[in-house]
C-alpha cells in the first residue's frame, strides 16, 4: 500500500501501534493501520461511513472499530500519546468554510426587503434599552 498524503507516517504508527488492543479472537483482524487511515479519512472529509474508499477495508469494519475503541477509551490513550510524542508542538487548524446556498446569492442590489406583517422595526421591539 503506497503512502498517501494524509495517512499515518511510520513515526506516528510507531507511537500508536503499542496502544491498540491486541486480543486475538477467532478470525484475524483487518490491518489496524489500514482501518485507522480509513477512520481518519472519514473524520477529515466528513463524508458518510459508507463512502470510505475500498483501500481502507469495509466501511462497517472502520465504523465498528471506531465505536468500540471510543467505548474502551483507546482514542483517549492515542491522543495523549501523540501529544507527548510531538511535545505539545502539534497544531490543528479548522479549515471549514461556510458558503451561501445557491439561491441566497442571487439577491438584486439596492432592493430592500420588507419585514413580515406584524413585525415592527422599532428598537423596543427587540428589547433594546433606552428606546424611548
Number of domains into which the chain is organized? 1
Does residue 63 form part of some domain?
A: yes
Tell me the C-alpha distance between 98 and 70, whole Å.
29
Q: What is the pLDDT of residue 105?
A: 60
Does residue 121 form part of some domain?
A: no
Does residue 59 form part of some domain?
A: yes
Does residue 132 form part of some domain?
A: no
Does residue 117 form part of some domain?
A: no
Whole-prediction pTM value?
A: 0.62
Does residue 54 form part of some domain?
A: yes
User: What is the pLDDT tens value at each position of the chain, 132 positions in all?
Assistant: 456 777 888 888 888 898 888 877 777 788 899 999 999 999 888 889 999 999 998 999 999 999 999 999 999 888 888 778 777 665 565 656 666 666 666 666 666 666 667 666 666 655 555 545
Does residue 48 form part of some domain?
A: yes
C-alpha distances (whole Å) from 93 to each of 44, 58, 90, 96, 108 are: 12, 29, 10, 9, 35
Could you list the residue range(s) of the whole structural domain that residue 66 is in?
Answer: 1-14+30-91
Does residue 124 form part of some domain?
A: no
* CA dihedral sign, ordered 127, 128, 129, 132: negative
Amino acid at each position: 500500500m503506497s503512502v498517501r498524503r494524509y495517512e499515518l507516517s511510520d513515526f506516528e504508527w510507531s507511537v500508536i501501534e503499542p496502544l491498540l488492543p491486541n486480543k486475538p479472537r477467532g478470525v484475524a483482524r483487518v490491518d489496524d493501520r489500514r482501518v485507522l487511515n480509513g477512520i481518519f479519512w472519514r473524520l477529515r472529509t466528513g463524508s458518510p461511513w459508507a463512502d470510505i474508499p475500498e483501500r481502507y477495508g469495509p466501511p462497517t469494519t472502520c465504523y465498528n472499530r471506531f465505536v468500540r475503541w471510543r467505548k474502551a477509551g483507546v482514542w483517549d490513550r492515542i491522543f495523549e500519546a501523540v501529544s507527548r510524542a510531538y511535545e505539545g508542538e502539534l497544531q490543528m487548524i479548522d479549515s471549514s468554510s461556510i458558503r451561501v446556498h445557491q439561491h441566497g446569492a442571487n439577491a438584486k442590489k439596492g432592493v430592500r426587503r420588507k419585514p413580515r406583517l406584524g413585525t415592527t422595526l422599532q428598537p423596543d421591539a427587540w428589547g433594546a434599552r433606552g428606546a424611548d
